Amino acid sequence: MKTRTRWLTCLLLVLTSTAAAGCLGASGPVCATGPNAGVCTRVLFVGNSYTYVNDLPSTFAQLARSGGHAVDVGSVANGAETLAQHVESSDDATQLAAEPWSYVVLQEQSDTPAYSSAGSLMYGPVHTLSAAAFKVGAMPMLFMTWAHKDGESGAGLPSYEAAQARIESTYLELSGQLRLPVAPVGDAWLHVHADHPDMALWRDDNSHPTALGTYLAACVFYAAIFRESPAGLSYRGGASGDDAALLQGYAGRTVLDSQTKWGLH
């Protein structure tokens, strides 16, 4: 299954006041066009199935709109796609040129960051894609993913916690080298799992996220991009009120209590 989509809500917002009112009432403010468009945050997600399963970009957009932010999102994501493959993809170049993006999120294939050689393998692709983002006026942001629930045996990391520690180290190393901000989804995931081990964040494959896992990721991106906690936002992504509140709180604290660590200056 391949996914290369952009999500644009209420495309005709500026054409009629009726359409605008309906859009605002349904999902919060969206990006408009023209000289009086106002502030808009446009986020392009570059990744693979960790991005498109459960539609993380759309989940983030709906969450952001419930917080009063006008947003537009896009995605270039195929199963198991690496950042090195994204460098070679014409789809990435096309999407980068399609909108005046505010952020370009870079998500590496899930196994790669758990290996000891990951930093050197990822440096080139991250550097190239970041340069392309800067060229169009966007801020690159690293998507620190979660480890497999059963660890990464091929990398000599038999437990989830050990694999997550390696993944975090890899992303922080790249963040420091290239001076890029990090969305610490994996760190928030680690804390939620430690305190609430019965909460189902992984699917049965022990790799891909459930809807709750994707919602947690969206909450982390909300906090990292807007520098404000998602606590109390009305959009719950299908989660119960209690689960949504719990995940919102963990995401906000993970990001905002350690902004320097994540390069969010």
H-run or E-run covering 41: strand 41-47
Residue with the two structure tokens 């758990």: 114
Other Cβ atoms less than 10 A from the Cβ of 198: the count is 5
For residue range 1-23, what is the model confidence (pLDDT) as tens digits? 334 443 333 322 222 222 232 23
Separation between Cα atoms, residue 236 and residue 222, nearest integer Å: 13
Separation between Cα atoms, residue 95 and residue 45, nearest integer Å: 10
> What pLDDT is attached to residue 32?
79
pTM for the predicted model, two decimal places = 0.90
For residue range 34-62, what is the model confidence (pLDDT) as tens digits? 665 678 999 999 999 999 999 999 999 99
The dihedrals phi and psi of 3, each to the nearest 5 degrees, come to -130, 115
CATH architecture of structural domain 2-256: 3-Layer(aba) Sandwich (3.40)
> What pLDDT is attached to residue 153?
96
Other Cβ atoms less than 10 A from the Cβ of 234: the count is 12
For residue range 61-94, what is the model confidence (pLDDT) as tens digits? 999 999 999 999 999 999 999 999 999 999 999 9
Burial of 127 (0-12, 13-18, 19+ CB in 10 A): middle
